[in-house]
Amino acid sequence: MILYLPNFTWKHSCIIDNSITYFFISLTCIIQTQLNTSKNLKNKLIMSFIKTGTVISVFLLTQCSNWNSNDKFTEGIVEYDIHYVNYSNQNFPLQLLPKTMEFKFNQNFASYTIEDKMGIFTIRDVKSAKDHDHITMIKFFSEKYACRAKKKEPPFFFKSNIPFKVVFLKDTFRMAGMSCKKANVTDINSSQSYDVAYTSLVGGKDPNANTPYKKINGLLMDFKLQIKNLEMTLTAKKIVSKKINDEDFLIPEGYKFISKKQMEGIISNLLP
């Protein structure tokens, strides 16, 4: 398993722990405190420092040499922070809303999961990478419902009827350790415009199919999402490269399949 953090700028197969830095600092301090003791001891400490540093350097260079900057992540997990935009519902405290979203993927399936910290409310959408068929699941306390969507129908996560104009920008930067690009998105109906970030190094083909962002061929790393009247901004904070089995995308036991209209009614009642 490989972990990617926001400020991690090394090649992704290079895992460098802060303990290495602490080791060098500590060893340097030991050498300095022993400078006035004995010349032989001082020389031995310095030689030990040099040898240890050489071994670690060779190890790191060996680990990094097998990585290609164009490698693409075909399976793993992306975690997003959620920020709610202009939230003003007095009947539903902001503290109870989910603060993170998880995107899990392999070469055959992908899923988005939004869940509150207490596990009371969960909404999850599982999509097939082959034909983009997807299933939306809702769990609220012990109530569990699932809805199977048609091939071209958008997930309940997105408002599909929003026409977007997308302008791709030349800006490149790093987010959650990944090389990203920017695009400017304009809602043609409202003329609202904002930037989104995406990367082509994570996820499968057409990750935004059946969504307003379908023109962007890359995994969204910073973007806006609206479920009914709940508007939010999602920002990728961590990426974990690991093997994801197809079994992780199976529908758990206890879910009752309902119609799209019934699912929309449940979501409207649950969300503020």
Angle among Cα 163, 166, 170 to the nearest 5 degrees reads 170
- Quick one: pLDDT at residue 245? 96
**CB < 8 Å & 24+ apart, contacts of 244-247:** 244/75, 244/76, 244/77, 244/104, 244/105, 244/106, 245/106, 246/106, 246/108, 246/109
- Quick one: pLDDT at residue 43? 54
Look-up of token digits 């809702």 = 138
**Of 113, 140, 151, 135, nearest in space to 258 by CA:** 135
Report the DSSP beta bridge partners of residue 36: none
pLDDT in tens, the chain (272 residues): 544 444 333 333 333 334 444 444 444 444 455 545 455 554 554 454 444 443 333 333 333 333 344 567 889 999 999 999 887 776 677 787 889 999 999 999 999 999 887 888 899 999 888 877 889 999 988 999 999 987 667 776 666 567 789 999 998 999 998 999 999 999 888 888 999 999 999 887 788 877 888 899 999 999 998 777 788 999 999 999 999 999 999 999 999 999 988 988 888 777 65
Please state, in angstroms and rounded to a whole number, the distance separating the CA atoms of residues 239 and 224.
Answer: 19
- Quick one: pLDDT at residue 128? 87
Please state, in angstroms and rounded to a whole number, the distance separating the CA atoms of residues 1 and 171.
Answer: 30
Please state, in angstroms and rounded to a whole number, the distance separating the CA atoms of residues 179 and 162.
Answer: 28
Please state, in angstroms and rounded to a whole number, the distance separating the CA atoms of residues 70 and 78.
Answer: 19
Lookup: tokens for 251: 């529908």
> How far, rounded to the nearest angstrom, does the alpha carbon of residue 205 sit from its chain's CA centroid?
16
The answer to whether 185 touches 198, Cβ cutoff 8 Å, is no
